[in-house]
Structure 1
């Protein structure tokens, strides 16, 4: 490979990659170009030379894709959070099916060529859909900024009006930053590591209730900020602080404390309401979560004779949708607050057939089986890292008859299916667009145990 950094080359884009970048070949060398679209003829400049591929930046487009759009977001290129906003939305949905196919082709789980992969279910209005934000805070030249780090860097992009963020959450974080400046609160930086490092704002779509978490590396008296903020926004019901003194890039530390208001806010999905404590996980796109859960209900065909395990259960939302349809529901999660929410949610719904524990699924499930419990149905909704290897071994050892895998990462899904398909077969995969304008999708996979 004779390519060098800063070299300019012409390129025909053959396809799009898992990060939304355009991919082409220059003299048999693989070239990745963020911002380029399939079918375009471009000129790009090499930015990095690796062993088997090169990376480049888009300079000019000689032949433009007919599906290219002008992004509405003014900081689209600077932020990088929405990798494919320049692609027409219906074609974004097609791309997310292709993402699944690329991942399956890479890992080649048994019979992947014949999987029923259904068209992505999109949104009528794919803007302002994020009901939760987590903005990092830093000071530059004495001015407080809050936003996201530019991809692959520690450069913070100041965000005041995000096109995919709920407007109320954006208004609240903007106001919170003004108050932090007004009262001269210390702001975290990589050298001194002392002060506010992150602000989380979440709005419940059904109740319009809002909760905040200030993540800080040191103890602070936030009362003046809380007083002004809650006076300005009556919808705020919870203000909490999370202590994260570590030097790692992890957003949260172990300790979270409610400073003001209620312990939780109320959200609704399908036909039931539930509580969300500040640290509890819930999907960031409430509108599409309704669609996602409907797909899970359809995929897991249960009866009253079934006993269901909801692994990575969070506050219990998916499993509770089945509580009146099965004999029992059991769930676990590593976040204690989420499990406490799940217990309260089950109680408020009048469910007497549920059981929740804090801990890892690969530890808790074998203990349940030792005690005589048997599950015929299983839901897994893991983080982007996918299923733990020990949990994969646990699932294939105990082999519940039916299973639904809810995935937010097509690569780890395809990897995990290699293991699971030793025991199960895929009936279909339904893609749901939970993250419009990004190179991410959610997938609901219906699996049934192979007949022996």
Structure 2
């Protein structure tokens, strides 16, 4: 009945909820990577005449900077990506533990943070920007924090090493193929970015060439040259982004080589990753995070579960073996398609994916009198909205498992949830982003008065 009334068994397009959005839009990377160079003082020219970067004026054309010879990463003070790169890892964990304890212990007990065995080169998604120097040399690198000045990168302690090697090769091919790099001031040129996505367990690699125009001369020859240099590449895709935006990935894709997507294995399940799909950047720690979330859900194969804003279905599919029924809800049509492919690929019979706004969907479920035992929610860094949390409270699941990448917004949302009939039982921080200040936290909430066992 639920499927017939809401979806008719077919995908449908719903009007976007401007306060909620889809998982892909909420979590999509908005700029090129912030991350290591060696060498002496350099001067880099960039095109930045008065345009804005996310509402802030871009800095002037020239950026003269000094490298920090006392740091593992000489540009970490400029890039702003790895604030803890020179801090011993145990101290990083202690800093994050204290931060979470100070902020969240007022709501309930906080367990010990779970760190990584090897906290380096963990990112499975790497995005590069390019600049042509006066000498004709093509540099690839990261944006200086708060600007569009490019800092050249040779090695980065958080990026996948294969991805970094492919980026270096591509920079050379830009020059040999005489391709023009996109100029933000004039709106001319072709190559905007290069994004590499790596399936850490499958070894599959997707190369996404982001262009400012669908017209891409010699793209097949370029792809062949790239694959010849790096035969580990599984697919090469042209992504077309013609908008004046800081968003890296556009809406249109043209497959140049391979299938146009890759697959990876997470929590024992196989997932299809397309160019625009949201997929956690640290899969090793994601398995830890999801394992803890599923444990908190306390599933006994009798429960009906909602995976709100499910993206490509990772949490819900990972939990499906332990639940009676999993309902994934997602607004982004491309993500809905990938999620349904993932359900079919894993031969799962108890997961349904709906194309809908998750908050509205849960209100509909409550109005129909259907019972939901567990809701997984994984909002963006900015946190959830009162509208969404109100829909959770209206639905009244026995347990809510909240996965957060923004501790301050989590504190705000827990305050709301605990004022409206829920109590925090326990929390665990997980170090998803070593060398940075970032930390994820998984929280178990139950309806006030509910006795929790386990």
Q: Mark yes or no: TM-score above 0.5.
A: yes
Deviation at 1:344, TM superposition (A): 1.4
Deviates more, 1:74-83 or 1:378-387: 74-83
Which of 293, 297, 301 is matched with 1:296 structurally? Answer: 293
Provide structure 2 residue ranges, at least 5 long, that are not aligned to the other structure: 1-68
Which of 209, 215, 233 is matched with 2:210 structurally? Answer: 215
Which of 310, 313, 324 is matched with 2:310 structurally? Answer: 313
Deviation at 1:394, TM superposition (A): 1.0
Mapped partners of 2:207, 2:362: distance in 1: 34
- Deviation sequence 1:16-67 (CA, Å, 0-9, x none): xxxxxxxxxxxxxxxxxxxxxxxxxxxxxxxxxxxxxxxxxxxxxxxxxxxx
In structure 2, the residue corresponding to 1:212 is in which secondary structure? Answer: strand
Query: Mapping of 1:51-130 within 5 angstroms?
Result: 71-104=71-104, 112-113=105-106, 115-130=108-123
Alignment match, 1:447: 445
Alignment match, 1:424: 422
Is residue 362–residue 395 contact of structure 2 (8 Å, CA) maintained in 1? no
Query: Mapping of 1:18-417 within 5 angstroms?
Result: 71-104=71-104, 112-113=105-106, 115-141=108-134, 142-194=136-188, 195-221=190-216, 222-370=219-367, 373-417=370-414
Is residue 399–residue 446 contact of structure 2 (8 Å, CA) maintained in 1? yes
What TM-score, normalized by structure 1, do the two folds share?
0.79
What TM-score, normalized by structure 2, do the two folds share?
0.78
Is residue 363–residue 394 contact of structure 2 (8 Å, CA) maintained in 1? no
Deviates more, 1:344-353 or 1:250-259: 250-259
Is residue 107–residue 424 contact of structure 2 (8 Å, CA) maintained in 1? no
- Deviation sequence 1:231-259 (CA, Å, 0-9, x none): 22222112222222222222222223333
Mapped partners of 2:300, 2:160: distance in 1: 38
Deviation at 1:377, TM superposition (A): 0.5
Mapped partners of 1:255, 1:415: distance in 2: 37
Change (3 A) 1:336 1:143: farther
In structure 1, the residue corresponding to 2:165 is in which secondary structure? Answer: helix
Alignment match, 1:62: none
Change (3 A) 1:171 1:238: same
Deviates more, 1:386-395 or 1:355-364: 355-364
Mapped partners of 1:373, 1:252: distance in 2: 38
In structure 1, the residue corresponding to 2:371 is in which secondary structure? Answer: coil
Deviation at 1:370, TM superposition (A): 4.7
- Deviation sequence 1:356-392 (CA, Å, 0-9, x none): 1234322333344455543210111122222133212
Alignment match, 2:433: 435
Is residue 131–residue 204 contact of structure 1 (8 Å, CA) maintained in 2? yes
In structure 2, the residue corresponding to 1:229 is in which secondary structure? Answer: helix
Change (3 A) 1:332 1:190: same
Deviation at 1:149, TM superposition (A): 1.3
The structure where strand makes up a greater share of residues is 1
Mapped partners of 1:358, 1:139: distance in 2: 43
Alignment match, 2:29: none
In structure 2, the residue corresponding to 1:207 is in which secondary structure? Answer: coil
In structure 2, the residue corresponding to 1:403 is in which secondary structure? Answer: strand
Mapped partners of 1:243, 1:102: distance in 2: 45
Change (3 A) 1:298 1:449: same
Change (3 A) 1:371 1:196: farther
Deviates more, 1:331-340 or 1:320-329: 331-340
- Greater than 6 Å deviation, 4+ residue runs: none
Mapped partners of 2:402, 2:158: distance in 1: 27
**Aligned-pair Cα RMSD in Å:** 2.1
Mapped partners of 2:193, 2:89: distance in 1: 31
Q: Which has the higher contact order (CA 8 A, sep 6+)?
A: 2
Is residue 107–residue 414 contact of structure 2 (8 Å, CA) maintained in 1? no
How many aligned residue pairs are there?
A: 377
Deviation at 1:89, TM superposition (A): 1.1
Mapped partners of 1:192, 1:125: distance in 2: 44
Is residue 94–residue 119 contact of structure 1 (8 Å, CA) maintained in 2? no
Mapped partners of 2:257, 2:447: distance in 1: 49
Alignment match, 2:58: none
Deviates more, 1:428-437 or 1:256-265: 256-265
Deviation at 1:176, TM superposition (A): 1.4
